[in-house]
């Protein structure tokens, strides 16, 4: 991984963005902001899924009034999303939001932009300049001959220039596009042009799984290059899925401490003694709402399972209609096949409370290892330890090249 790019730091409430702060996860509510209770319910669900910052639309007076009631009850800092009507930005600030998102493609009069920036400056609130490939200023579109990375970066820098005129510096920037290579190019260019913190995202990525793939491709590429301070998956889905995906990505890249289970599982093969997909899905569901920061493995057989998941905190491998439980690669117990998921949950709870050493110490490891070896030998005897006829193939290879 590249060293993280040095940026200025801003704060949305108590949440820091940039300047070496942990990379944060964002999402946006899909409710009408005037629906205070419905919006708060969604915000609390987002917080539980690992979201750090939430954005709510402020597109009408009723939405601004809703924000005044939402902000004091929200567990997360609120960013008001503003399009076209600069007075909605002023109203949102009056409602007490922690930040704004402005789209320079939609608010184009310099006096309006500077009026909002001046008020935000006086209130100590940050603003995200949210350039979107789908709403680029037509003048820039014509100047650059279409939607290009340079056009999006120029749009952001024009907005920054208006902010500079009124002495406003609490800025973060996004240059989102639905085309992944274009998005990556634009952020790389922007990272060379400013030290403002950057908000990463692939806009209008679409529904999962394609939306997840596109978002991950763009966001992860940049994060691994050290670019990016906060992220959002823009999915056509429940926003809770966005928050979960963002959190899981940061944990997978080692950019945030693990909060929930990291479930690894083999893809299954002819050696599998169980329906690996079913067991993995049931395990995923069993751990879904538990904040257990362990790596847990589900393996379909005892031949390679323990070795492949040796570094997992806890795992289970199927063999001879039984589940062989292992902790840090050590066999610790044998459980009936239909109790595999329940056993994983029980041992995960024990490890979280007492640690892996205590888990190993409480087990009859000698017996568990004997049972695993017995099942491994039976599986190899049944299926053969040379199912690909590799030895004969090697003879033929040597004959071919001699």
- pLDDT tens for 139-165 read 999 999 999 999 999 999 999 999 999
Would you say residue 22 lies in a domain?
yes
Same-domain pairing of 152 and 286? no
* In a shared domain, residues 105 and 203: yes
If asked whether residues 208 and 269 sit together in one domain, one would say no
Residue 395 domain-assigned (yes or no): no
Residues 313 and 338 in one domain: yes
Domain shared by 61 and 121, yes or no: yes
Which distant-in-sequence residues (6+ apart) come within 8 Å of 276 by Cβ?
A: 265, 266, 267, 268, 298, 299, 300, 318
- Asked if 204 and 134 count as a contact pair (C-beta separation under 8 A), the reply is yes
pLDDT at 318: 79
Beta carbons of 93 and 101 less than 8 angstroms apart: no
The neighbour count for residue 150, using CB atoms within 10 Å, is 14
pLDDT recorded at residue 303: 65
Domain harbouring 81, CATH code: 3.20.20.20
Q: Is residue 389 part of a domain?
A: no
> Given this model, what pLDDT does residue 265 score?
86
Rg (CA), the chain: 26
Residues 58 and 205 in one domain: yes
- Indicate whether this model's pTM tops 0.75: yes
- pLDDT tens-digit map of 171-228: 999 999 999 999 999 999 999 999 999 999 999 999 999 999 999 999 999 999 999 9
Greater pLDDT, 364 or 55: 55
| DSSP per position, 146-160 | SS-HHHHHHHHHHHH
- Considering the domain architecture, whether residues 34 and 130 belong to the same structural domain is answered as yes
Q: So what's the pLDDT on residue 67?
A: 98
What is the number of domains present in the chain? 2
Strand-pair partners of 206? 235
Q: Which tens digit of pLDDT belongs to each residue from 234-270?
A: 999 999 999 999 999 999 999 998 888 888 888 877 7
Long-range CB pairs of 352-360 (<8 Å, 24+ gap) are 352/292, 352/293, 352/294, 356/313, 356/327, 356/328, 359/314, 359/327, 359/332, 360/327, 360/328, 360/330, 360/332
- Which tens digit of pLDDT belongs to each residue from 344-400? 999 999 999 999 999 999 888 788 777 777 766 766 665 555 545 566 777 778 788
Q: Are residues 109 and 220 in the same domain?
A: yes
- In a domain, residue 391? The reply is no
Domain assignment present for 191: yes
Q: Residue 213's beta-bridge partner residues?
A: none
For residue 383, what pLDDT is reported? 52
- Kindly report the backbone phi and psi dihedral angles of residue 270, in degrees, each rounded to the nearest multiple of 5, phi listed first: -65, -20
| Residue-range definition of the domain harbouring residue 354 | 262-383
Same domain, 187 and 59: yes
**More confidently predicted of 8 and 300:** 8
pLDDT, residue 290, reads 83
Q: Residue 99 falls within a domain, yes or no?
A: yes
Share above pLDDT 70 across residues of the chain, in percent, rounded to a whole number: 92
| 121 and 90 in a common domain | yes
Q: Which phi and psi angles does 263 have, rounded to 5°?
A: -90, 120
Burial code (b: 16+ CB inside 10 Å, e: under 16) for 268-301 equals: beebbbbebeebbebbeebbeeeebebebbbbbb
Q: Are 107 and 224 in the same domain? A: yes
CATH, residue 288: 3.30.413.10
Kindly state whether residue 398 falls inside one of the protein's structural domains: no
Final residue in a domain of this structure, among 201, 231, 252 = 252
């Amino acid at each position: 991984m590249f060293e993280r790019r040095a940026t200025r730091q801003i704060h949305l409430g108590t949440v820091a963005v940039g300047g070496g702060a942990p990379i944060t996860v964002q999402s946006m509510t899909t409710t009408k902001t005037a629906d205070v209770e419905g919006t708060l319910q969604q915000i609390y669900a987002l917080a539980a899924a690992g979201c750090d910052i939430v954005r709510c639309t402020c597109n009408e007076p009723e939405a601004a009034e809703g924000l005044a009631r939402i902000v004091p009850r929200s567990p997360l800092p609120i960013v008001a999303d503003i399009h076209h009507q600069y007075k909605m930005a002023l109203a949102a600030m009056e409602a007490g939001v922690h930040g704004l998102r402005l789209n320079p493609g939609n608010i184009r009069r310099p006096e309006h932009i500077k009026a909002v920036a001046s008020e935000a400056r006086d209130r100590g609130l940050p603003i995200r300049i949210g350039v979107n490939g789908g709403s680029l200023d037509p003048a820039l579109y014509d100047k650059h001959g279409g939607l290009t990375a340079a056009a999006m970066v120029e749009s952001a820098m024009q907005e920054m220039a208006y902010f500079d005129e009124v002495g406003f510096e609490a800025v973060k920037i996004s240059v989102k596009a639905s085309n992944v290579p274009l998005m990556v190019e634009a952020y790389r260019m922007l990272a060379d042009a400013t030290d403002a913190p950057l908000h990463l995202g692939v806009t209008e990525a679409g529904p999962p799984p394609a939306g997840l793939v596109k978002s991950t491709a763009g966001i992860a590429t940049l994060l691994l290059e050290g670019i990016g301070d906060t992220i959002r998956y823009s999915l056509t889905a429940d926003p809770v899925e966005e928050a979960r995906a963002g959190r899981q990505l940061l944990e997978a890249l080692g950019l945030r401490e693990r909060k929930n289970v990291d479930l690894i599982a083999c893809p299954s093969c002819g050696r599998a003694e169980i329906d690996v997909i079913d067991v993995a899905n049931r395990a995923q569901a069993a751990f879904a709402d538990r904040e257990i920061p362990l790596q847990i493995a589900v393996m379909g057989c005892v031949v390679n399972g323990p070795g492949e998941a040796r570094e997992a905190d806890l795992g289970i491998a199927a063999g001879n209609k039984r589940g062989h439980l292992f902790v840090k690669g050590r066999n610790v117990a044998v459980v009936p096949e239909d109790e595999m998921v329940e056993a994983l949950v029980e041992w995960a709870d024990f490890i979280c409370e007492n640690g892996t050493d205590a888990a190993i110490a409480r087990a009859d490891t000698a017996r568990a290892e004997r049972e695993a070896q017995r099942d491994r030998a039976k599986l190899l005897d049944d299926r053969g330890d040379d199912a690909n006829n590799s030895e004969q193939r090697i003879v033929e290879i040597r004959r071919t090249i001699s």
